Amino acid sequence: MKEIGKQVGTLGDFEQLVLLALLRLGDGTYGAEIRREIEERTGRDLAISAVYVTLSRLESKGLVESWTGEPKATRGGRRRKHLRVLPAGRRALGETIRQFQRMAEGLERELEAR
Amino acid sequence: MSAKDRPAPEPPRWALRLAGLRAPRDQQEFVAGDLAEEFANRYREQGAAAARGWLARHLLRCLIGRHPGRWELDVPTRRGDVMSRLWQDIVFGLRLVRKAPLLSAVAVLTFALGIGANAAIFSVAWPVLAGPLAFPDEDRLAIVLLRNDRATPPKPNPISPGDYFDLLGAESFESMAGFNLYTQPLNLTGRGEPRQLELGTVTEDFFRVLRITPLLGRGLDTADFGSQSRTLVLTERSWREDFGADPSVVGQTATLDGEPWTVIGVMPTAATVGTVDVDGWLPENLSRAGAREQRSYYLSIVGRLGPGISLAEANAELDAIMARVAREHPETNEGISAQAESLRERLTGPVRPMLLLLLGSAGLVLVLAGINLSGLQIARNLARGQELGVRRALGAERGRLLCQLAVETLVLAALGGGAGLIAAAATLAVLRPTVAWHQAGASLAPASVAFAVVLTLLVGAIVGLGPGLLASRTAGLGGRRARGGTASRASTRLRTALLGAQIATSMVLLIAASLSGASLIRLIEVDPGFELEQGLIADLGSPSQGSSRIRFFDELVEGVEGLPGVERACAISKVPLDNDGAWMTYVAEGATDADRVAALPIGITSGCLEALGIELLQGRAFERTETMGVALVSESAAHELWPDDPSPLGRKVHIGLVSGPLLEVVGIVRDIRATSLESAGSMQLWTSASRGWPAPERLIVRTTGPSAPLAGPLRELLRELDPDLALSNLRTMRDIVGEATASRRFVLVLLAAFALIALVLSAVGIYGVLAHQVGQRTREIGVRLALGARRQAVARTIAGNVLAGVASGIALGVVLAWMLSSLLATQLFEMSATDPRAYLGVAGFVSVVAAAASWLPTRRATRVDPVEALRSE
């Protein structure tokens, strides 16, 4: 089981969404911004806790890295967790999207029609 | 100040915690921070209401919204975060509920019925069987009564003043006090509408023995027992209802039957528990001098045992005392002993078998519910065999799967338990009037809720783990494909066995319910010797002018009979089946004290025999102006008094013993069931109201039509005759009979409800097992049909082993019911608990229901199209 985990493999839908959002927002972004980005672009309103479950997964797979900021008054004295996509993350995302594209190739009209 | 600068509040702490519940622990700070930040932004931009709305929706999303799946090919969950895992299981369970709403609804409902029935019965039974009685050190409290060993069976009897003083010498008791077993209705006037108080009389130490402290004022003292003293102690209930909870009531005067009494204290109503239910207490004046000569039996003793002294030791001493008294006064005390019984036993003894019966029945319903749920779980787990197998193959530990299956069941159990508690609370609200016959107030106390929670967890765990073990083991076989062709033999056999157990349980409950029903019908059909289909009964109290008592009753009866719609009216001391009355002994003229006969004296004005529809067998009834010296004797009393004389008209009888005054028998009337519908052959001696005792303080009116419109004119008439008298407690004979059968109806209603639930659960069970089998074996059936099997033969194969389960269940049920019959026997009236008709009838009924439940699925099996069935491969 652990072996499968280490091999990264394909990314789940949450992981894809979060990684894409990270790339759009650039280094140093944090959870609330990621959530907003996903909601604005896809209309999917993820639970905050779902975002962080995904982030900690990506982190332990070695796809993103994070650092903790200073306590902020607007957050009731809590800190922010800032994030950056690692090269492995870009590779995994790229691979997933390429797989997806290959599968979708030639189906454009079919998919449009629906 | 612009909206932007307005400081936004933090979401509540619990919200912050809830939001992070499913996130890894080290991420919770960030989740909470994001939540606070987003909440604050919305608060500033869209206002408080919108922000709160968002918060509520978002919390829900955090709790049950989709999160990255745990068993996706992802990183295993972090470092044994048990809470978050548990939560994930719960969420998964809830999602399963949403995915299969019908199946889940059946499971939740089944849980609700099982838990609800038990919580309701527990709430009624717990306070009675185990609850405190409200007295300090109450286990040392005992009630002493006499026992007439010559009666068969020996029955408890009240104590006479003479015996009372001798019993006071018992040293096993630290303290003893006497109380009058019979209440005195007195009219309270001068406080709004006149009303009646039922007052008890007690000796000086009564409250000290119970160790009960007054809410206001004080208890009784020596000074209150002087002949001129007029002091009154109220119960809290009467203080609230009749005296408006006046805090300065102590020292005030209450006018009772026209005489001023001083209120000296208010005692908790609990002081009536186990003794006599009253509105208040007056001093009972007993004096040792001349007590032996008093032949009336009306006292009881409440005593507190000395430290370390057992009830048996106390009883040994009481026996010794009564043996000595019997030697000294053989004429009155031969064959009379005394018996102490613990206060708790006296309170709960009579209802305990009934409560245990109901608790047992509710338990059976729960067992049945559990069996059904196990069946449901097995079916569901089988359907999920593939999912479980895959997860097992991907490395999910067996314990983990098991844990998840258990949690899923517990989710259903919790929903069902919650619904059950609500149902129990509602049931209790309906039952409360019915259980008023015993002292315990039935409500969903914390103990009942705790009981329901424990039951829910227990049943949930058992039901979840058993089938779960089975499923996780099957899933362990390398994720093999669920068998599509034939049903797995082990699970079929298990479900058939469970089915048999279910049928047996329903049989036991149905037999108990039908026996109780038949017994209740018998009781209602008993001829009590009187009849008052249309009429009214009311309490009067005694008229204030004691001397003109006779004239008063004459005027009253005459006035009432003048009202429209009234056929007959009379005043009576004891309404049959209703209030208690003191017993008296009587001796035939010429006989000795040893031949005395105990009978119930009833004082009446003329017209009572007709008003109550009591048959006069010989002689005449009382006339309007009757002298004191006459009596009517009931059939069996006449036979006891003059065994050799079939027509003792004109003969005479002493009241009390040979030394007592004589009454002449002018008529013989039929026996009536005066104290309870159950006990036949109670003897009565009817005396004229003109004797004064027993005082006719209740009014009976026989009407030609509905009696309700009569209440107003009756009150008016009474106000004209004596403004100090209150007409209270208006009721009909139907009410009285209803009360007399209340506890039986209570048992019957519950047993019938339980039996019905059991039957429905069993029918659902049979249907479920068969339908499931037919679904699983469609292909097998197709093959058989294709190979030329006849449809009847197929039907037999399918229904065969289920019906075998039903048959063995019926047989087992009969045996179980027969084994448990002694428990029920005590609750039945003139019915054998092993009446074969009930057993046969129920067996037949269950067979029909089982056949009906198996008809649909079996028919579906015979209609299988072989071509379709085989093509689906």
Tell me what ipTM this predicted complex has.
0.88
Chain B residues with CB under 8 Å of A72 CB are 33, 37
Could B30 and A5 be called an inter-chain contact, meaning their C-beta atoms sit closer than 8 Å? no
pLDDT of residue B153: 58
pLDDT of residue A8: 54
Strongest mean pLDDT among A78-82, A97-101, B591-595: A78-82
Q: With CA atoms as reference, report the closest residue to A49 among B857, B779, B465, B23.
A: B23
Taking the Cβ of residue A9 and every Cβ of chain B, the question of whether any pair is shorter than 8 Å is answered with yes
Q: Which residue pairs from B785-790 have beta carbons closer than 8 angstroms and sit at least 24 positions apart in sequence? A: B785/B864, B785/B866, B785/B869, B786/B866, B786/B867, B786/B870
Could A50 and B67 be called an inter-chain contact, meaning their C-beta atoms sit closer than 8 Å? yes
Radius of gyration of chain B (CA): 36
Chain A residues with CB under 8 Å of B35 CB are 48
Taking the Cβ of residue A42 and every Cβ of chain B, the question of whether any pair is shorter than 8 Å is answered with no
Residue A5 has pLDDT above 60, yes or no: no
Q: Which of B33, B66, B74 sits opposite A79 (nearest CB)?
A: B33
pLDDT of residue B579: 66
> Amino acid identity, residue B560?
V
Q: For residue B833, what are its two tokens?
A: 């608990």
Could A35 and B36 be called an inter-chain contact, meaning their C-beta atoms sit closer than 8 Å? no
Q: B348 Cβ partners below 8 Å, 6+ apart? A: B128, B129
Taking the Cβ of residue A88 and every Cβ of chain B, the question of whether any pair is shorter than 8 Å is answered with no
Peptide bond into B709 cis (omega under 30): no
| A-B Cβ pairs (cutoff 8 Å, strict) | 112
Neighbours of B149 (CB within 10 A): 13
Greatest Cα pair distance, chain A, in angstroms, is 52
Could A48 and B29 be called an inter-chain contact, meaning their C-beta atoms sit closer than 8 Å? no
If you measure CA to CA, which chain B residue comes closest to A58? B75
Partners of residue B198 on adjacent β-strands: B185
Q: Are B846 and B506 in contact (CB under 8 A)?
A: yes
Taking the Cβ of residue A56 and every Cβ of chain B, the question of whether any pair is shorter than 8 Å is answered with yes
Taking the Cβ of residue B22 and every Cβ of chain A, the question of whether any pair is shorter than 8 Å is answered with yes
Q: For residue B288, what are its two tokens?
A: 């040792």
CA torsion, ordered B89, B94, B95, B97, to nearest 10 deg: 130
Closest CA of chain A from B384, distance in Å: 22
Could A75 and B65 be called an inter-chain contact, meaning their C-beta atoms sit closer than 8 Å? no
Helix (H) / strand (E) element for B561: namely helix B549-562
Q: What are phi and psi of B281, to 5 degrees?
A: -125, 145
Q: Are A80 and B30 in contact (CB under 8 A)?
A: yes
Chain B residues with CB under 8 Å of A57 CB are 68, 74-75
Distance CA A69, CA A71 (A): 7
Closest CA of chain B from A98, distance in Å: 19
Distance CA B315, CA B323 (A): 12
Q: Which of B24, B36, B76 sits opposite A76 (nearest CB)?
A: B36
If you measure CA to CA, which chain B residue comes closest to A78? B33
Taking the Cβ of residue B18 and every Cβ of chain A, the question of whether any pair is shorter than 8 Å is answered with no
pLDDT of residue B432: 63
Could B31 and A52 be called an inter-chain contact, meaning their C-beta atoms sit closer than 8 Å? yes
Taking the Cβ of residue B27 and every Cβ of chain A, the question of whether any pair is shorter than 8 Å is answered with yes
Q: For residue B552, what are its two tokens?
A: 């008063």
Chain A residues with CB under 8 Å of B34 CB are 30-32, 35, 48, 51, 75
Three-state helix/strand/coil letters over B448-474:
HHHHHHHHHHHHHHHHHHHHHHHHHHH
pLDDT of residue B82: 62
Taking the Cβ of residue A81 and every Cβ of chain B, the question of whether any pair is shorter than 8 Å is answered with yes
Does this model's pTM top 0.80?
no
Could B24 and A56 be called an inter-chain contact, meaning their C-beta atoms sit closer than 8 Å? yes
Could B34 and A35 be called an inter-chain contact, meaning their C-beta atoms sit closer than 8 Å? yes
pLDDT of residue A113: 58
Chain A residues with CB under 8 Å of B53 CB are none
Query: In angstroms, what CA-CA distances link B98 with B94, B102, B383, B456?
Result: 6, 9, 16, 21
Q: Say which residue the tokens 């797989």 belong to.
A: A99
Taking the Cβ of residue A45 and every Cβ of chain B, the question of whether any pair is shorter than 8 Å is answered with yes
Distance CA B378, CA B394 (A): 23
Distance CA B698, CA B721 (A): 15
Three-state helix/strand/coil letters over B188-222:
EECCCCCEEEEEEEECCCHHHHHCCCCCEECCCCH
Helix (H) / strand (E) element for B688: namely strand B684-688
Q: Which of B21, B62, B75 sits opposite A57 (nearest CB)?
A: B75
Q: Are B709 and B564 in contact (CB under 8 A)?
A: no
Distance CA B677, CA B254 (A): 38
Could A79 and B29 be called an inter-chain contact, meaning their C-beta atoms sit closer than 8 Å? yes
Instruction: Provide the CA B755 distance to its chain's centre, in angstroms.
Output: 17
Mutation to test the B interface, candidates A7, A37, A42, A49, most B Cβ within 10 Å:
A49
Q: Are B764 and B372 in contact (CB under 8 A)?
A: yes
Q: For residue B290, what are its two tokens?
A: 């001349």
- State the first-to-last Cα distance of chain A, in angstroms, to the nearest integer: 39
Distance CA B191, CA B761 (A): 57
> Amino acid identity, residue B751?
L
Partners of residue A82 on adjacent β-strands: A67
Closest CA of chain B from A75, distance in Å: 5
Q: Are B731 and B538 in contact (CB under 8 A)?
A: yes
DSSP B3: G
Q: With CA atoms as reference, report the closest residue to A15 among B155, B73, B46, B102.
A: B73
Distance CA B685, CA B544 (A): 27
Q: Are B261 and B254 in contact (CB under 8 A)?
A: yes
Closest CA of chain B from A111, distance in Å: 26
pLDDT of residue B484: 44
If you measure CA to CA, which chain A residue comes closest to B9? A76
Closest CA of chain A from B36, distance in Å: 5
pLDDT of residue B689: 79
- Which residue ranges in chain B fall short of pLDDT 50? 1-4, 71-80, 436-440, 476-487, 873
Instruction: Provide the CA B247 distance to its chain's centre, in angstroms.
Output: 35
Taking the Cβ of residue B4 and every Cβ of chain A, the question of whether any pair is shorter than 8 Å is answered with no
Query: Which residue did the predictor score with more confidence, B201 or A113?
Result: B201
Could B30 and A30 be called an inter-chain contact, meaning their C-beta atoms sit closer than 8 Å? yes
Could A72 and B40 be called an inter-chain contact, meaning their C-beta atoms sit closer than 8 Å? no
